[in-house]
Structure 1
Amino acid sequence: MKNNSNIYSEYATLRRKSGLPIWADILMRVLFVLSLVGMAVAVHWFDREGLRDTYDGDVSFLDVIYFTMISITTTGYGDIAPVTERARMFDALVVTPIRVFVVLIFLGTAYNFVLKRTWDKWRMKLHQKSLRNHIVVLGYGVSGSEAVKELIARGQNPGDIVVIDTNDASLAKAEAVGCFVLNADASNDDTLVNVNIDKAATAIVSAGRDDTSILIVLTIRHLNPDMPISVVIRSTDNELLARQAGANNVINPVNFAGLLLAGSCHGLHISDYISDLASVSGKVMLSERSVKPEEVGRPLRGLSSGVGVRLYRDNKAYGYWEEPAQNMMDGDMIVEIIPSLLDEKNGVSDQPKNRRWPWLKEKKA
């Protein structure tokens, strides 16, 4: 049996986005059509002896142009007609294909520059109405795609995820799992406005380059001052810049891998447990939420929903052993270890979204 990848490679073509402006693209199509018509006119003129004009018997140059145009447009009034075999064969074998090409070119131009744009704008407006409290993923490379995969595994609706990238192949993969996709520059204000960034719940930035990711963070923060932003930064020197740009969470995959490697040197199961905490596929996971009214006054270690490991108060972090964590207060944020969302028998558990992501509010009708 022939390998599918080989079949694909036979038909795959190397593509590049056209650098021509719209007016130049349209002009090139018009010139191509005119060249086809000009070729037909030239042949008809040089072989005008094969044409007969039933009106005055004389075939002038204007008559040739007239006959060529009505032949290409399939009007065919019959006042001028090919009478020799050579003229008839030319009309059958050359003019007919020209007619087909001209029709296809005009239909394709109308579709690309009129119908398709109108249809896409209408669809975008329709989708924009449903975009609220959604997650915007800017960059669908290795990190971005894994983040989306993990979000969906945790129970996130793919229809509440918008992916922005400039790579068609990456966007096709994101669209295949049910996400909204947009091929555009993520650092552009108009792009972020088109995905309702001001109504989004959070953003994940993974542009592949630190400078580009930081610029995207700055643009997002300009349009949405309060939304949580997580960004992937590969150089330690740029982590501070990312935070100054407005990122709430700065993740360095290189440093994180180093932490796992170092932890594995002091225990065979430490890195395994850390991986469990970070992924929905493990037995445990980390959850962040606000303190419930009935928990006010209790110690962090006294949680019934999980194992409390850290408390945040006034943007300061406290461990479960520190004094502030012995008396939880209204407005505190806590991080706890809870059982994984996966249940061996029932699949995904019925834990509510606000337990997994407290900033993710339910959509309003």
Structure 2
Amino acid sequence: MRDHTVVVGFGTKGRSAIRAACATGLRKERVVVVDPSNKAIDAATAEGYAAVLGDATRSEVLKRAEVQRAGQIIIATQRDDTAVLVALTARQLNARAKIVAAVREEENAPLLKQSGADEVITSAGAAGRLLGLSVLSPAAGRVMEDLIRQGSGLDIVERPVTRAEVGLSPRETPDLVVSVVRGHRVLGYDDPAVGRLELTDRVITVVPAEEQEERPGLPPTMGR
């Protein structure tokens, strides 16, 4: 297998990550789950995923999941220190894969990035911010919860710029564009540096979930 997605940890975070990715185009047969729990492995295989039983901090276990050939690695372990060790091991085996990891505590995010993660999501902090928003503005909280629940209501989607959109400003496109990805930079839709859209740009848009299903060009490319 090559350019597949390896998911380390099949608890609540890992399952949610896989389901969100599959809702936007990732095929189940392109996913390999790694978990030290027999129960988690049984659950993963029951849902149709390939699975490897073992400790993902050990290189021989990750090699069985063919991490060295993976395109994406999602680290969703229960402990932050485990996530750091997994990131270190995975990065040693694969220098090019995109590694996305979750941590419980925000103070551990820099260490995880130093260990090789490209993106780090702070689960406790994100949940806390959503709770605070829901208290101050229940309607805004519901919208945010809807956005992060892939496949229903509104979805956040990354897609390439179409030829018809080249030369337009983000506000002139048919979709609601919130950011533009240009090279390695993510620019806000109103950033003066964006100017006009280029053919090599990607845009992050908010679209109705049912519209995403109807338009095959919308799902982001994630190891399909």
> Normalised by the size of structure 2, how large is the TM-score?
0.89
Aligned runs of 1:174-323 on 2, under 5 Å?
A: 174-304=44-174, 306-323=175-192
Letter of the aligned partner of 1:231 in structure 2?
A
Who is 1:356 aligned against? 219
What is the aligned counterpart of 1:141 among 4, 7, 11? 11
Distance 1:332 1:182, change over 3 A: same
Q: Does structure 2 conserve the Cα–Cα contact (< 8 Å) formed by 1:140 and 1:170?
A: yes
Higher helix share: 1
Higher strand share: 2
Amino-acid identity (%):
27
Offset, 1:201 = 2.5
Q: What CA distance in whole angstroms lies between the structure 2 residues aligned with 1:181 and 1:187?
A: 16
Q: Does structure 2 conserve the Cα–Cα contact (< 8 Å) formed by 1:213 and 1:231?
A: yes
Q: What CA distance in whole angstroms lies between the structure 2 residues aligned with 1:351 and 1:144?
A: 27
Distance 1:281 1:165, change over 3 A: same
What is the aligned counterpart of 1:328 among 187, 197, 214? 197
Q: Does structure 1 conserve the Cα–Cα contact (< 8 Å) formed by 2:4 and 2:32?
A: yes
Who is 2:27 aligned against? 157
Q: What CA distance in whole angstroms lies between the structure 1 residues aligned with 2:2 and 2:215?
A: 21
Distance 1:221 1:293, change over 3 A: farther
Q: Does structure 1 conserve the Cα–Cα contact (< 8 Å) formed by 2:25 and 2:220?
A: no
Offset, 1:314 = 4.3
Q: What CA distance in whole angstroms lies between the structure 1 residues aligned with 2:42 and 2:118?
A: 29
Letter of the aligned partner of 2:186 in structure 1?
A
Partner secondary structure for residue 133 of structure 1: coil
Q: Does structure 1 conserve the Cα–Cα contact (< 8 Å) formed by 2:52 and 2:64?
A: no
Partner secondary structure for residue 186 of structure 2: strand
Offset, 1:162 = 0.7
- Higher mean C-alpha deviation, range 263-272 or range 165-174: 263-272
Offset, 1:183 = 0.6
Who is 2:207 aligned against? 338
Distance 1:349 1:355, change over 3 A: closer
The CA RMSD measured in Å over matched residues stands at 2.2
Give ranges in structure 2 of 5+ residues lacking alignment.
none
Partner secondary structure for residue 18 of structure 2: helix
> Normalised by the size of structure 1, how large is the TM-score?
0.57
Q: Does structure 2 conserve the Cα–Cα contact (< 8 Å) formed by 1:150 and 1:279?
A: yes
Offset, 1:299 = 0.8
Offset, 1:207 = 1.5
Higher relative contact order (CA 8 A, sep 6+): 2
Q: What CA distance in whole angstroms lies between the structure 1 residues aligned with 2:218 and 2:94?
A: 24
Offset, 1:165 = 0.6
Distance 1:351 1:191, change over 3 A: farther
Q: How many residues align?
A: 224
Partner secondary structure for residue 158 of structure 2: strand
Q: What CA distance in whole angstroms lies between the structure 1 residues aligned with 2:92 and 2:83?
A: 14
> Deviating runs (4+, > 6 A) in structure 1?
none
Q: What CA distance in whole angstroms lies between the structure 2 residues aligned with 1:339 and 1:231?
A: 27
Distance 1:186 1:350, change over 3 A: farther
